[in-house]
Amino acid sequence: MNLPAVLAIYRFEMARFWRTALQSIVAPVIATSLYFVVFGAAIGSRVQTVDGIAYGAFIVPGLIMLSLLTQSVSNAAFGIYFPRFAGTIYELLSAPISPFEVVLGYVGAAATKSIFIGLVILATAAMFVPLHIEHPVWMVAFLLLTALTFSLFGFVIGLWADGFEKLQLVPLLVVTPLTFLGGSFYSIEMLPPFWHGVSLLNPVVYLVSGFRWAFFGKGDVSVGISVGVTFLFLALCLGLVTWIFRTGYRLKS
Amino acid sequence: MSPIVSIENLSKVYASGLHALQDVNLTISKGEIFALLGPNGAGKSTLINTVCGIVTPSSGRIRVAGHDHLTDYRAARRMIGLVPQELTTDAFEKVWDTVSFSRGLFGLRKDPGHIERILKDLSLYEKRDNRIMQLSGGMKRRVLIAKALAHEPQVLFLDEPTAGVDVELRQDMWRLVRRLRDQGVTVILTTHYIEEAEEMADRVGVIRKGRIILVEDKVELMRKLGKKQLTLHLNEPITALPDSLADFGLQLASGGRTLIYTYDTKRERTGITGLLTDLAAAGIGFTDLDTSQSSLEEIFVDLVRERA
């Protein structure tokens, strides 16, 4: 294991994160505060409770998940896309470093950043609503697992994209809509039967449900299924990354 | 000298069907400066990038200090430093950070002393806290060299290192390359500036259409393929050559004031004595004479043209 190389990539990526701290941290905090103003105060005052949970508190896991997913995907995608765009990828390809170590460095940094932002949002939320986390260990486990899985997914997008437009395509047109429609701001139990069934095809439903269960002990689907689906997606992303490095897709000619 | 890079039957066919390398065999000795010459699109960069692991070969084998570049890639790549042709840098990074990053990628612990030495050698130390985007093109080129040297490589590949740089930087680089060679580093460079190869290289390889068409010791190459010219400055201009001098293949130049005789240095007899005797017999006198030898550039052009 070339640990210094993994650390070099990790530190390099984290340095970029701190260099753009305003954009990286302040922007999600402001966005979260706005969500609380709109959904928590304006709409929440009329909805009152969902599944016996105050609406303001109910949306917290969904809000964290929304940021966690988009930040994981964007950070990892940009992290590996930029060296490809700038041409500095030659250094990675000619260094004595295995594909696994490259992934560990980039995905580890992207996951760290998104977890940090997730925790910042959690702290911001705690200022708006009283929060009690029923299963803190599971909450951390879901946070880690989701950040890791979607950072891997972002890494795949960063390798696939051949322009900045494509880099934004999946986070904006796939991840964000799936998160909004994945029960972030509502329980899918509230939907008519047909749309409830359709929602179960959305993988984000399982992530939000599992995460919400960690907070309140209640979710739309069982926690076992949530963990299983998350692991399934993780395995899929791992398989894709392995294939990319084996074939050199978009990396080597 | 023992080989440090050994390339056997290397071929590369790109997905487009382009045969960039065709059955290349090449051995680079430890501690030498090897210049790889070739016209645009000849396969120079593909060859370098394949050895460095950036391009996947279609067939063949590469060993660096005995380490197979695919099965034992960590050991092989650890030996190699690469300065790419393009100015590919992280524009927002600081000079010190980007060079330290390169050292880390090669699995080495931090060594501020070594980084400082490299930056000083390359006149970059004063710029160590500057972001790369604030540097001139020449300085960026130096940063790429510093990054390639950060992990103390034994083999340094320089792909067109002086393309687009000013004379001062070019001479700085030549000095650096010689110093590296003195430290035991093997240097392989591609260049469009034949004078660069002539100035620095121990051996020269010529690649054309993906095939190595010649590998030769530079001095030997110039001796074997070089032609010499004898120029005679005449007393009086002449309008035509007498028939008695027809066999010498002389050229009349400068309005009939100079005669140029091209001869082969490899031949046992150069014909100079006979020419001078016949000139005297024809009543043609001269005030001065000088000789010149063809440059590596002329040899290279002849070689590439011959095999076109």
Asked if ipTM goes beyond 0.90, one says no
On the question of pLDDT at B194 being above 80, the answer is no
Query: pLDDT per residue over A67-124, tens digit each?
Result: 899 889 989 999 999 988 888 889 999 999 988 898 899 999 999 999 999 998 888 8
With pLDDT > 90 as the criterion, what percentage of chain A qualifies?
Answer: 25
Q: What are phi and psi of B212, to 5 degrees?
A: -80, 115
Nearest to A96 among B15, B78, B109 (CB): B78
pLDDT of residue B291: 83
Q: Pick from A5, A19, A87: which is nearest to B105 by CB?
A: A5
Which of B15, B75, B104 faces A5 most closely, judged by CB atoms?
B104
Burial group, residue B119, by CB count within 10 angstroms (0-12, 13-18, 19+): buried
Q: Tell me: pLDDT of A39 over 90.
A: no
Q: Confidence class of residue B308 from pLDDT cuts 50, 70 and 90? A: low
pLDDT in tens, A49-66: 777 788 888 888 888 988
What does the pLDDT read at residue B296? 67
Backbone torsion region of residue A83, taken as left when φ is above 0, otherwise alpha when ψ lies between -120 and 50, otherwise beta: alpha
Among residues of chain B, what percentage have pLDDT more than 70? 91
């620095």: which residue's tokens?
B200
- B-proximal residues of A, 90-109, CB under 8 Å: 90-98
Say what the pLDDT of residue B307 is. 58
- State the pLDDT confidence band at B295, using cuts at 50, 70 and 90: low
Average pLDDT over residues B49-77: 92
Short-list B17, B6, B4, CA closest to B58: B17
The pLDDT value recorded for residue B112 is: 93
Q: What is the mean pLDDT of residues B248-260?
A: 88
The number of beta carbons lying within 10 Å of the beta carbon of residue B91 is 13
Would you state the pLDDT for residue B224?
66
pLDDT for B128 beyond 60: yes
What is the structure's pLDDT at B203? 92
Higher model confidence: residue B192 or residue A224? A224
3-state secondary structure of B215: strand
In sequence order, the 6+-apart residues with CB closer than 8 A to the CB of A71 are: A28, A113, A114, A117, A118
In angstroms, rounded to a whole number, what is the distance separating the alpha carbons of residues A184 and A69?
Answer: 12
Over 90: is that where the pLDDT of B79 sits?
yes
Structure tokens at B111: 């060594």
Q: State pLDDT tens for residues A139-192.
A: 999 999 999 999 999 998 998 888 888 888 888 888 888 888 888 888 888 888
Beta bridge partners of B252: B259
Q: Which residues of A touch B68 (CB under 8 A)?
A: none
Query: In angstroms, what separates the C-alpha of B118 from chain A's closest C-alpha?
Result: 18
* Interface contact B147-A9, CB threshold 8 A: no
Q: According to the model, what pLDDT value does residue A11 have?
A: 93
Residue B200 has pLDDT above 90, yes or no: no
Q: What is the pLDDT of residue B306?
A: 61
Query: What's the CA gap between A226 and A220, in Å, rounded?
Result: 10
HEC profile of chain A = CCHHHHHHHHHHHHHHHHHCHHHHHHHHHHHHHHHHHHHHHHHHHHHCEECCEEHHHHHHHHHHHHHHHHHHHHHHHHHHHHHHHHCCHHHHHHCCCCHHHHHHHHHHHHHHHHHHHHHHHHHHHHHHCCCCCCCHHHHHHHHHHHHHHHHHHHHHHHHHCCCHHHHHHHHHHHHHHHHHCCCCCCCHHHCCHHHHHHHCCCHHHHHHHHHHHHHHCCCCCCHHHHHHHHHHHHHHHHHHHHHHHHHCCCCCC
pLDDT at B1: 65
Sole residue written with tokens 């970059």: B124
Q: Where are chain A's structural domains?
A: 3-247
B283: phi > 0 → left, psi -120 to 50 → alpha, else beta; which?
left
Out of A137-151, A238-252, B43-57, which region has the weakest mean confidence (pLDDT)?
A238-252
Q: Which carries the bigger pLDDT value, residue B259 or residue A251?
A: B259
The per-residue pLDDT for B97 is 94
Place of tokens 């790549």: B77
Determine the Cα–Cα distance for residues B228 and B290; give it in Å rounded to an integer.
10
pTM of the model: 0.80
What are the pLDDT digits (tens) for B80-102? 999 998 888 888 889 999 999 99
DSSP B235: S
- CA–CA gap between residue B143 and residue B122 (Å, rounded): 8
Burial of B287 (0-12, 13-18, 19+ CB in 10 A): exposed
Q: Which helix H or strand E contains B286, and what residues bound it?
A: strand B286-293
Other Cβ atoms less than 10 A from the Cβ of A38: the count is 12
CA distance B65 to B5: 6
Residue B126's H or E segment, with its range, is none
Q: Please name the residues between 220 and 239 in chain A that touch chain B, using a CB distance below 8 Å.
A: none
pLDDT value for A38: 80
State chain B's mean pLDDT as an integer: 87
Query: Cβ–Cβ of A94/B102 closer than 8 Å?
Result: no
Start-to-end CA distance of chain A, whole Å, equals 26
- Is B53 at the interface with chain A, CB within 8 A? yes
How many A-B residue pairs are in contact by the CB < 8 A criterion?
75
Q: Provide the residue type at A46 as one letter.
A: R
| CB-count burial class (<10 Å; 0-12, 13-18, 19+) for A189 | exposed
Q: Decide if B94 contacts B128 (C-beta within 8 A).
A: yes
Give the confidence band of B265 by pLDDT, cuts at 50, 70, 90: low
Q: Which of chain B's residues have a Cβ under 8 Å away from the Cβ of A95?
A: 77, 105-106
Contacts with A165 (C-beta within 8 Å, 6 or more apart), sequence order: none
Kindly determine whether residue A88 and residue B101, on different chains, have CB atoms separated by under 8 Å: no
pLDDT band at residue B147, thresholds of 50, 70 and 90? very high
For residue A37, count other CB atoms closer than 10 A to its CB. Answer: 12
Q: Give the pLDDT band of residue A199 (cuts 50, 70, 90).
A: confident
